[in-house]
Amino acid sequence: MNQRQIEELLTRVKNGNLDIPTALGKLKHFPAESITDACIDHQRTLRTGIPEVIYGGSKSAEQIAVIVKAMLSKEGPILATRVDQKKADFVRQEIPELTYHPQAQMLTCRPIPVTREKIRGDVAVICAGTSDIPVAEEARITIESLGHPVLTLYDAGVAGLHRLLNNQRMLSEAAVIIVAAGMEGALPSVIGGLVSCPVIGVPTSIGYGAGIGGFAALLGMLNSCAPGVAVVNIDNGFGAGCMAVAINQNG
C-alpha cells in the first residue's frame, strides 16, 4: 500500500463510502504480513520509495512462489533477483503472469508507472564488456520495473574508447549513469571525467586471477580520481539500479 492508496482509503472512510471494519480489513497487514518463512514489508515503498524485493539466490523455488503470491495480493511491482532458470520455470508454472529475464536472472510483474514530470531524466546503463551484461541487465530491469526510462550501451570498455566517445551525446544527456565493469574497473573513472551527472560504478567479478573475483575492480573504482563517482558492491546491479532511481526522483 502506497501513500496514494492510504489517502484514498481514509477519504472513503471520511466521506462515509467505506465502513471502518472494511477499512481495517484492508489495513490488516499494515505494516507487514507474516507468512511461512517470510515477513513481507508491504509498506516499504511508502517509507523508502523502493518496494520489497525478493532475493532468490538462497531461497527455494517453493519459498519464492509463496512470497510472490502474497505480494500479488497487494498492489505494487514484483521483483525477484538471482533466480536461476530451474527456479524460474517452477515459479512461472505456479504464477504464469510473471516475466523471466534470463540474462538478469530476475522475475518481474506489474512495473510501477511513473510520469516524466516525476523524474529528472533518463538513466544510462553502460557496461565495459559483453561478459558484464548480466550485471548491467539486473540494473536495467530493476530501474524499468520501478518506472524509470533506461538507455543502454554495452561492450564499450576502455580497450576501445572510440565506442564510448561515439556516444557522448547520450552520456551528456543522462540524468544518472550506471557503469558495470570487471578486470581493472577503469570505465567509471573515464566516464566520470566526461559528464556532470552522478556516476554509479558496479564492479563485476569478471576477470583473471589477480582480479580476485571483482576486488581489483572494486578497489580501482573506490580509488577513482574522477569526482562524482560512487560505488556499490561487486555484481550488485540491483543496488545500483535502486540508487539510480533514488537519484532520478524529481521531488
> Which pLDDT score is estimated for 90?
97
Quick: pLDDT tens for 141-152.
999 999 999 999
Residue bearing the bigger pLDDT, 199 or 250: 199
User: Dihedral of CA 205/203/184/125: which sign?
Assistant: positive
Q: What is the pLDDT of residue 1?
A: 59
Average pLDDT, the chain: 91
- The pLDDT of residue 171 is 95
- Of residues 27 and 50, more confidence is placed in 50
Query: For the whole model, what pTM was predicted?
Result: 0.87
Cα–Cα distance measured from residue 136 to residue 117, given in angstroms and rounded to the nearest whole number? 26
For residue 250, pLDDT beyond 90:
no
126 pLDDT more than 90 = yes
Identify the CA nearest to 88 among candidates 54, 117, 120: 54
Q: What percent of the chain has pLDDT over 90?
A: 70
168 pLDDT more than 70? yes
The residue-averaged pLDDT of 186-204 equals 96
